[in-house]
Amino acid sequence: MTQLVSDIRILDNLLALNLNVSLWSARRKMSQEDLGGAELPPEDLTTLGSKRIADPENLKVFGTLKARAFNYLDRHGVRFMSGWAIPEEKAGEIVQELLNIRTEFQKEKETFLAGYDQNVQKWIEKHHQWGEIIRNSLVGPDYVRARMDFRWQLYKVAPLEQHTDNTAVLEAGLAEEVQGLGGTLFDEVAKSANDIWRRVYHGKTEVTHKALSPLRTLHAKLTGLSFVEPHVAPVADIMQAALLRMPKKGNITGADLLLLQGLVCLLKDSTALVGHAQKVIEGYGPALVLDALLTGPGVIHESDGPAGQMDGTVDGTVDGEMDDEPILSEIPLPDSPLPHPAIPSLGLW
């Protein structure tokens, strides 16, 4: 297996971004008094739960905005230390999107706080039998305001090269974090590909051009982070070559869909993906990798019957049950490199 090791010099092209989103849970700890002095087990045996003092439905929007920010950073960066490593050249557009989300967060926060007292009163009325328990734990809007925040820190990371104590330099730990960045990126690619397969391509015999959108998003991430590790750019090239083969109009079916399904399954397998990227580095073009995805024994889908089978597929079963993803054959590569090995120019390298 090819070892993925990122060079410390990639920090020259990266910025670290740490995102802090604080949410108020509207929960307060239950007390013995809330239960009317009922005899309870000792605290070293059990602990009381919590109670909600406001309607959680009114707070859902803040969790949604937090998830939106995390998803955006995952699409453009790679997890690094306590946050993300992002391409320095994309810092402006990434911060702009975070500004947009923060503006929406602050707007929703002010709306929530403006109606806070009224919403709490409605919550008490809804649970009037337990109204006293809620009233005993109420907090004011200023308390809530201080616990809801959306902010980030963007900074340059550099290794510690000199210190009066040499141990501090030798045990700084940054080199190990950077070396693992390539592996982290390929793990994220595999996770994204699994999600894409499940949501978009699993069991399909026909897809629209919308099915290309998550692949384009993943391709853009790899292109922006192509300097993180030498095998990243070849994977971006393979994806670009596949996208260029797709028809400009109409639904995607037949061999084109088989190619996309094979590509997604390749992206799901980090070990195989790195191996094929290595072949591109050695001079075998991305087209050879893609062609091999169509030369295997076929593509198998879960199906209720023959109607779900694609043209050009085979009736592959295991103990009478249909598999749920394409079978990828070993890519047949020549015994020696091409006569004039060259990495194809796809506008990425």
Return d(Cα 170, Cα 342) in angstroms, integer.
40
**Residue positions counted in the chain:** 349
The DSSP letter of residue 137 is: T
Percentage of the chain beyond pLDDT 70 is 79
pLDDT of 238: 96
Q: Which helix (H) or strand (E) holds 45?
A: none
**Is it the case that residue 173 has pLDDT exceeding 90?**
no
pLDDT of 53: 86
Strand partners, 15: 86
Contacts of 276 (CB under 8 A, 6+ apart): 234, 238, 266, 289, 331
Contacts of 20 (CB under 8 A, 6+ apart): 149, 150, 151, 152, 153
pLDDT of 51: 78
Return d(Cα 49, Cα 34) in angstroms, integer.
11
Q: What pLDDT, in 10s, does the model give residues 222-261?
A: 999 999 999 999 999 999 999 999 999 999 999 999 999 9
- Of the segments 162-176, 253-267, 330-344, which one has the largest average pLDDT value? 253-267
**Is it the case that residue 296 has pLDDT exceeding 90?**
no
pLDDT of 349: 31
**Is it the case that residue 119 has pLDDT exceeding 90?**
yes
DSSP secondary structure, 287-340, as one string? HHHHHHHTSSS------SSGGGPPTT----EETTEE-SSPPPPPP---SS--SS
Return d(Cα 161, Cα 178) in angstroms, integer.
15
Q: Report the 10 Å Cβ neighbour count for 200.
A: 18
User: Among the listed ranges 15-29, 37-51, 206-220, which one has the minimum average pLDDT value?
Assistant: 37-51
Q: What pLDDT, in 10s, does the model give residues 73-116?
A: 999 999 999 899 999 999 999 999 999 999 999 999 999 999 99
- Mean of all residue pLDDT scores within the chain: 82
pLDDT of 289: 84
Q: Which helix (H) or strand (E) holds 166?
A: helix 166-170
183 closest CA partner among 150, 230, 143, 217: 230
Q: Give the residue with greater pLDDT, 328 vs 120.
A: 120
What's the pLDDT band for 32 if we cut at 50, 70, 90?
low
Strand partners, 207: 252
Q: What pLDDT, in 10s, does the model give residues 297-324?
A: 433 333 333 333 333 333 333 333 334 4
Amino acid identity, position 285: G
10 closest CA partner among 159, 152, 155: 159
User: Among the listed ranges 30-34, 219-223, 252-256, which one has the minimum average pLDDT value?
Assistant: 30-34
User: Among the listed ranges 52-66, 79-93, 273-287, 316-330, which one has the minimum average pLDDT value?
Assistant: 316-330
Contact 224, 233 (CB under 8 A): no
Contact 49, 30 (CB under 8 A): yes
CA atoms within 13 A on the CB side of 25: 6
What's the pLDDT band for 39 if we cut at 50, 70, 90?
low
Q: Report the 10 Å Cβ neighbour count for 25.
A: 13
Q: Give the residue with greater pLDDT, 37 vs 266.
A: 266
